[in-house]
């Protein structure tokens, strides 16, 4: 069974922000796999479904980004580390890029750092590029802003590729998922 967790901030005011691309991917996967996120507790909401014959749990933390590790730790239970997939935004990837890795560091992302502190670093990372803020803009403010209308098209393509890659990961493993997700977006 795989656990796929999309990082973000709770609340309607953060719903469409750059920092919430992990949550947005969970919405895409839930629709694709017909998973209803009906189970809840103070730390997360989640639902169980299947990709082919493989059971999968989709989850969204109810914690703020910097405390994501609390939610992931509460959700991971008996999941093997390599079956845990954490989806997050990435300032260092161009808008529309997707990067999948089996292990690694936090890359300056406080939500991923919180997950590493809580469960270790042996989980799969799906990073979705949001690009760098404009010259003179603060990163903290940039990630909490909604995508512009022009950015939404690139975001849609990235979410579709990331969803394809996660589905491939569940069915065929990490190497196959990396071939689907990593690389330049198709124009």
Domains and CATH numbers, the chain: 2-181 (3.40.50.1470)
- Over 70: is that where the pLDDT of 187 sits? no
Alpha-carbon distance of 138 to 120, in angstroms, equals 29
pLDDT of residue 79: 81
Mind listing the pLDDT tens digit for each residue in 78-114? 788 789 999 999 999 999 999 999 988 888 888 899 9
Q: Which residues are catalytic?
A: 19
Give the three-class secondary structure for 1: coil
Sign of CA dihedral 20, 38, 156, 13: negative
Helices (H), the chain: 21-33, 68-76, 110-119, 139-143, 149-172, 174-181
Q: Looking at 41-45, 133-137, 145-149, which range is the least confident one?
A: 133-137
- Over 70: is that where the pLDDT of 186 sits? no
- pLDDT tier for residue 146 given thresholds of 50, 70 and 90: very high
Mind listing the pLDDT tens digit for each residue in 125-144? 999 999 999 888 899 999 99
Alpha-carbon distance of 72 to 70, in angstroms, equals 6
Q: If you compute the radius of gyration of the chain from its CA atoms, what whole number of angstroms results?
A: 15
CA–CA distances in Å: residue 108 to residues 4, 74, 88: 21, 23, 12
pLDDT of residue 61: 96
Residue found under tokens 């005011």:
13
- Over 80: is that where the pLDDT of 184 sits? no
- Over 90: is that where the pLDDT of 57 sits? yes
- pLDDT tier for residue 155 given thresholds of 50, 70 and 90: very high
How would you label 97-119 residue by residue, b for 16+ Cβ within 10 Å and e otherwise? bbbbebeeebbebbbbbbbbebb
Q: To the nearest whole number, what is the mean pLDDT of the chain?
A: 92
């Amino acid at each position: 069974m795989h656990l796929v967790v999309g990082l973000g901030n709770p609340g309607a005011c953060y719903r469409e922000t750059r920092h919430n691309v992990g949550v947005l991917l969970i919405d895409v996967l839930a629709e694709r796999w017909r998973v209803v996120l009906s189970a809840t507790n103070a730390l997360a909401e989640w639902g169980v479904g299947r990709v082919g014959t493989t059971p999968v749990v989709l989850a969204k933390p109810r914690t703020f980004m910097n405390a994501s590790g609390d939610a992931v730790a509460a959700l991971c239970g008996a999941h093997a580390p390599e079956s845990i997939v954490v989806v997050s935004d990435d300032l260092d990837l161009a808008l529309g890029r997707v990067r999948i890795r089996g292990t690694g560091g936090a890359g300056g992302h406080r939500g991923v750092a919180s997950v590493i502190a809580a469960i270790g670093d042996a989980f799969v990372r799906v990073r979705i590029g949001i690009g760098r803020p404009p010259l003179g803009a603060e990163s903290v403010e940039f990630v909490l802003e909604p995508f512009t209308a022009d950015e939404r098209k690139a975001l849609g393509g990235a979410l579709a590729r990331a969803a394809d890659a996660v589905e491939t990961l569940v069915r065929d493993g990490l190497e196959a998922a990396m071939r689907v997700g990593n690389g330049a977006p198709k124009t």
